[in-house]
Structure 1
């Protein structure tokens, strides 16, 4: 019994922490960005056009995040998703010659996010974590589609940048050589106001995008 206890103590003494204070955590994932979208009615010269709205499609991209363990349980993580491209479709404009679901805008989205992350079981081989944080989203390469320009006379599109909160839950399954398999789900509060000119006057619409982001990939601890 004493010999068995000695072996266990030796093995335990030689066992390294899975993650601990001072470690750097790198994750790389393939992600699906799925908007929980909603919008106001289109406003033309400040007046709402009843029955109108827009929707945002989902898309795939890659994300890279890097975190630093500020204690054995807490980390700061910076999420740096690669830009994804999304299409905005219009609804309720059939009377103006724009069928429901017509694509009217394409835009690239860049959403850097900072999380304060809690590691529930930092010494285990299966490590769940939860984080809350702040997001900034920048829209760029905004383009109006042919129907939007030709039928509505739309031009001079601008999408406001967004500031919002974010939350995440994920799990790392330890592999070997400080590698892990990772699954991660995030919710990001993203909203914008789109403004543009039309043949009928200046127009605007408020859009809540609020995507759920599901990712699968690998992590590395340094």
Structure 2
């Protein structure tokens, strides 16, 4: 192969790589669908320890601007054991989120797309042990994440989130506020349409 052919091949390869990078940028109008496996760890306290749980969560987002998106997410029911009071007390917690997300590299030719989000969480409680009652509640939520773009339509995703979740409860004639404050970390895939 001559130097001219080698140089021509390098130029074509570089331009194809540049074109593929441009196609991988997040832009206004994109729809982002995420599916993740996550571990959630409610805070509790020494007297009210609560077990960690793993499960699936997902979201659908819409890029309203190259750098801003809104997303609606939810997860399966996470079953937690409440280690205060009667042995074996448990409940299930199902989160739903509405988030505004900022993508600092949105619109740019970057394979790595970090993001930060802030929004509202609604948590539904169910299947509480006999005598335990937890009120469904709204709470503020924040998240940090990153997408590693693999193709025009597929990325790997990793994230961490925090929900400031204080829940009113009653248990066997006693009532108060349970400070759950779950930290959730996870990873999965993002589909971009």
Bin of the TM-score, shorter chain as denominator length: 0.7 to 0.9
Aligned residues of 1:38 and 1:207 also touching (Cα < 8 A): no
Q: CA deviation at 1:18?
A: 2.1
Alignment correspondent of 2:123: 137
User: 1:48: which partner in 2?
Assistant: none
- In 2, distance between residues paired with 1:13 and 1:86? 48
**Conserved? CA contact 2:71–2:99, under 8 Å:** yes
Contact 2:43–2:49, Cα closer than 8 Å, also in 1: no
1:87 to 81, 92, 102: 81
Report the 3-state secondary structure (helix = DSSP H, G, I; strand = E; otherwise coil) of the residue aligned with 1:108.
Answer: strand
Q: Output the CA distance in 2 between the equivalents of 1:17 and 1:212.
A: 30
**1:16 counterpart = 2:23:** yes
| 1:65-114 deviations in Å (ceiling 9; x for gaps) | 110000000000111111111110117xxxxxx6xxx33x2111111011
Moved over 3 A (4+): 6-15
Which residue number in structure 2 is paired with residue 167 of structure 1? 142
Q: Which runs of 5+ in 2 are unaligned?
A: 1-7
Q: How many residues align?
A: 181
**1:192 has 2:167 as partner:** yes
**1:158 and 2:144 matched:** no
- Which is greater in Rg? 1
Taking structure 1 as reference, are residues 64 and 10 closer, same or farther at Cα in structure 2, changes over 3 Å only? closer
Residue 204, structure 1, aligned to residue 175, structure 2: yes
SS in 2 for 1:55: coil
Establish whether residue 218 from structure 1 lines up as the match of residue 193 from structure 2. Answer: no
TM-score, structure 2 as length reference: 0.85
- Partners of 2:184 and 2:39 in 1: how far apart? 6
- Specify which of 127, 145, 148 is matched with residue 113 of structure 2: 127
Paired position in structure 2 for 1:27: 34
Distance 2:167 2:112 in 1: 38
Structure 1 contact 135–189 (Cα < 8 Å) conserved: no
Deviation of residue 163 (structure 1)? 1.3
State whether residues 29 and 63 of structure 2, in contact with CA within 8 Å, keep that contact through their aligned partners in structure 1. yes
The alignment partner of 2:128 has SS state of strand
Moved more, 6-15 or 157-166: 6-15
TM superposition score normalised by structure 1:
0.74
CA 1:10–1:29 in 2, change beyond 3 Å: closer, same or farther?
A: closer
